[in-house]
């Protein structure tokens, strides 16, 4: 039985447990609240708040999720009280001397973290804001200042935006929860980067995925579990196409939830897995549901809820529900609502899910054949401004205008407008990456465009400074350079062309001198041998011409033939 109370203005949920005592302090703030320019700030606050605890004999940790941040531990009642109050004290007197150290730790953590197939689904559905930011790295870490941290803590880490849960015999009497007052923060809005649904896009290799926004409640929970059961049976047990086929139910706000489904596949089985995956979604949508599957799912979920209630494992989810403004009914009411779900309810949920569905297909495949509309991969328009020609791709231009930038070419059209820009990443050598709220990216390497540095200077003076995040300098060898343009119909490099022209000029002068010498020789021979007859004069003249001309031709043969 869950008991509710209050300490220091903070709601407290308490329930029994069969194991060691545990506690968790949950705040309604997460990655979906972060602007891209400060991506990672909640995670950084979490690390800074825990850093004063150092090594301890009890187990403790923190977690930053999409909508919630939690500090939790296992230990004795006195240890629980010391941990919770220690976190509260550290939150409002952050150890900022560890700011650079904790930044480095977060970068190391990100380096070792593997990517999730849920990330591209979030990016394509929401873009580069609210629930889509979890698909991006923590690019804002370098720009976060102590004032940013103080503002974030004052806004989100308050007693009015927190819930404490305790699993154990009692709530430790020593807990004080010294948190300042504030305002309960609503769940972040759910943006959409999709002009129409159901939609599809080509995702990473080796996985088929799908997500849908549905009404929260027991029918949606049963629908997710039935889909997983049928996928596992069809794709793994019967066809042997997948190893892992699973679903997830995730509450999004006060009345909606996100249902996701993933199935892995080998390269040569991707088409078959995609087909089987889509067939299972279609079967549920038209009511081809075995009532035995629905009853099996309800029975399994019923048992899991009872066990979680006994062990205190439902308390963290109930704390999150309370923070999100959702009701927390007694378990008897939840079990009754679960048992009342019928196959018709599952069919209705499947139809609702299809209407908002987003299908992620393997590379070089599509879901348009199944009624999904291809999600847009290019911007609808380009800005009107100054074009800068690409030095590598003929026909491609970077266009810079007062209201934004575009990349336009034969096979691309990407536009980010400054009033709809999420972040501008800036490198010292001039590279810029602009990301729009719709997820469209414009990458600019000034070395690859004619007068590219002028384009970057314009962007820097017209884009709002608050969107800029400065990056560390790159290795000069990593800065791209355009390929040198080939010289048409030439056997020599442009650098040696001036020398070749000089050689030809010299050859022309020598030819003139040769002709002048021959003419003078003929005149002299004629004068000297005129009395001996014309034949002797001509023979002598021929000898002179042959000797002089042959000598010059041999001497400068390479230059004449160059």
* Residue 484, domain member (yes or no): no
Tokens for 360, please give them: 């992620």
Residue, of 557 and 128, whose pLDDT is higher: 128
* Amino acid 138: pLDDT: 97
* Amino acid 488: pLDDT: 45
Strand order across the 358-361 sheet:
245-251, 256-264, 207-215, 358-361, 199-202, 373-374
**Do 427 and 545 belong together in one domain?**
no
Tokens for 245, please give them: 């086929």
Q: Which of 443, 478, 513 is the last residue of a domain?
A: 478
**Do 542 and 443 belong together in one domain?**
no
- Read off the pLDDT band of 510 (50, 70, 90): low
**Do 154 and 242 belong together in one domain?**
no
The distance of Cα 308 from the centroid of its chain, to the nearest Å, equals: 35
How far apart (Å, rounded) are the C-alpha atoms in residues 407 and 467? 20
* Amino acid 523: pLDDT: 54
The distance of Cα 390 from the centroid of its chain, to the nearest Å, equals: 25
**Do 55 and 156 belong together in one domain?**
yes
Lowest mean pLDDT among 40-44, 163-167, 513-517: 513-517
How far apart (Å, rounded) are the C-alpha atoms in residues 404 and 455? 11
**Do 362 and 399 belong together in one domain?**
no
How far apart (Å, rounded) are the C-alpha atoms in residues 97 and 95? 5
pLDDT tens, position by position, 241-279: 999 999 999 998 778 999 999 999 999 999 999 999 999
Question: What CATH number corresponds to the domain at position 402?
Answer: 2.30.29
**Do 408 and 529 belong together in one domain?**
no
**Do 466 and 504 belong together in one domain?**
no
* Residue 186, domain member (yes or no): no
Question: What CATH number corresponds to the domain at position 23?
Answer: 3.30.830.10
Q: Where are the beta strands (DSSP E) in 206-316?
A: 207-215, 245-251, 256-264
How far apart (Å, rounded) are the C-alpha atoms in residues 62 and 64? 7
Q: Which of 317, 345, 374 is the last residue of a domain?
A: 374
pLDDT tens, position by position, 110-127: 988 888 889 999 999 999
pLDDT tens, position by position, 39-81: 999 999 999 999 998 766 668 899 999 999 999 999 999 999 9
Buried b (16+ CB within 10 A) or exposed e, 16-38: ebeeebbbbbbbbbbbbbbbbbb
**Do 148 and 25 belong together in one domain?**
yes
* Residue 525, domain member (yes or no): yes
Under 8 Å between Cβ of 128 and 423: yes
* Residue 189, domain member (yes or no): no
* Residue 129, domain member (yes or no): no
Strand order across the 386-389 sheet:
386-389, 397-401, 404-409, 412-417
**Do 162 and 290 belong together in one domain?**
no
**Do 250 and 352 belong together in one domain?**
yes
* Residue 174, domain member (yes or no): no
pLDDT tens, position by position, 295-343: 999 999 999 999 999 999 999 999 999 999 998 999 999 999 999 999 9
Q: If you average pLDDT over residues 124-135, what whole number do you get? A: 96
User: Does 385 have pLDDT greater than 60?
Assistant: yes
Q: Into how many domains does the chain fold?
A: 4
- Highest-confidence segment of 390-394, 441-445, 546-550: 441-445
User: Does 518 have pLDDT greater than 90?
Assistant: no
Q: Which of 374, 401, 422 is the last residue of a domain?
A: 374
* Amino acid 307: pLDDT: 95
Q: How much of the chain exceeds pLDDT 70, in percent?
A: 85
**Do 218 and 352 belong together in one domain?**
yes
* Residue 122, domain member (yes or no): no
**Do 260 and 332 belong together in one domain?**
yes
* Residue 179, domain member (yes or no): no
Range of the domain at 448: 386-478
- Read off the pLDDT band of 494 (50, 70, 90): very low
């Amino acid at each position: 039985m869950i008991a509710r109370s209050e300490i220091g203005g903070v709601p407290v949920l308490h329930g029994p447990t069969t194991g060691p005592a545990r506690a968790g302090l949950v705040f309604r703030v997460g990655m979906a609240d972060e602007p891209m320019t400060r991506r990672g700030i909640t995670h950084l606050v979490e690390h800074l708040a825990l850093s004063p605890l150092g090594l301890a004999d009890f187990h403790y940790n923190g977690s930053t999720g999409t909508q919630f941040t939690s500090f939790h531990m296992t230990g004795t009642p006195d240890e629980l009280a010391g941990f919770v109050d220690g976190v509260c004290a550290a939150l409002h007197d952050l150890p900022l001397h560890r700011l650079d150290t904790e930044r480095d730790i977060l970068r190391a953590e990100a380096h070792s973290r593997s990517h999730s197939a849920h990330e591209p689904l979030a990016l394509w559905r929401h873009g580069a804001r609210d629930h889509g930011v979890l698909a991006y790295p923590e690019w804002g870490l370098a720009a976060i200042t102590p004032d940013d941290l103080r503002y974030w803590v004052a806004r989100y880490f308050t007693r009015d935006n927190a819930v404490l849960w305790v699993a154990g015999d009692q709530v430790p009497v020593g807990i004080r929860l010294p948190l300042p007052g504030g305002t309960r923060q609503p769940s972040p809005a759910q943006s959409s980067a999709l002009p129409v649904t159901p939609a599809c896009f080509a995702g990473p290799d080796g996985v088929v995925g799908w997500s849908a926004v549905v009404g929260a409640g027991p029918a949606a929970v049963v629908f997710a579990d039935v889909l997983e059961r049928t996928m596992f049976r069809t794709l793994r047990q019967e066809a042997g196409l997948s190893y892992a086929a699973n679903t997830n139910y995730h509450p999004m706000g006060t009345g909606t939830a996100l249902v996701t489904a993933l199935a892995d596949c080998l390269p040569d089985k991707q088409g078959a897995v995609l087909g089987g995956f889509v067939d299972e979604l279609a079967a549920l949508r038209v009511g081809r549901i075995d009532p035995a599957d629905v009853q099996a799912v309800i029975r399994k979920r019923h048992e899991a809820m009872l066990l979680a209630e006994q062990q205190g494992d439902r308390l963290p989810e109930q704390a999150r529900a309370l923070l999100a403004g959702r009701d927390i009914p007694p378990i008897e009411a939840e079990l009754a609502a679960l048992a009342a779900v019928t196959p018709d309810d599952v069919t209705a949920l499947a139809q609702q899910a299809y209407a908002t569905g987003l299908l992620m297909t393997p590379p070089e495949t599509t879901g348009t054949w199944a009624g999904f509309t291809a999600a847009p991969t290019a911007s609808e328009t380009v800005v009107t401004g100054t074009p800068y020609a690409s030095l590598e791709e003929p026909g491609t231009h970077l266009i810079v205008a007062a209201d934004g930038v575009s990349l336009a070419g034969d096979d691309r059209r990407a536009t980010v407008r400054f009033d709809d820009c999420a972040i501008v990443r800036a490198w010292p050598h001039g590279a810029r990456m602009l990301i729009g709220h719709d997820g469209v990216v414009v990458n600019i390497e000034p070395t690859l465009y004619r007068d590219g540095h002028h384009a970057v200077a314009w962007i820097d003076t017209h884009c709002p400074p608050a969107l800029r995040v400065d990056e560390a300098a790159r290795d000069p060898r990593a800065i791209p350079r355009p390929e040198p343009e080939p010289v048409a119909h030439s056997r020599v490099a442009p650098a040696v062309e001036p020398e070749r022209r000089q050689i030809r000029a010299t050859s022309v002068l020598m030819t003139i001198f040769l002709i002048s010498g021959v003419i003078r020789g003929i005149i002299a021979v004629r004068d000297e041998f005129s009395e001996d007859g014309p034949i002797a004069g001509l023979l002598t003249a021929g000898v002179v011409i042959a000797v002089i001309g042959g000598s010059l031709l041999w001497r400068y043969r390479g230059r004449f033939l160059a």
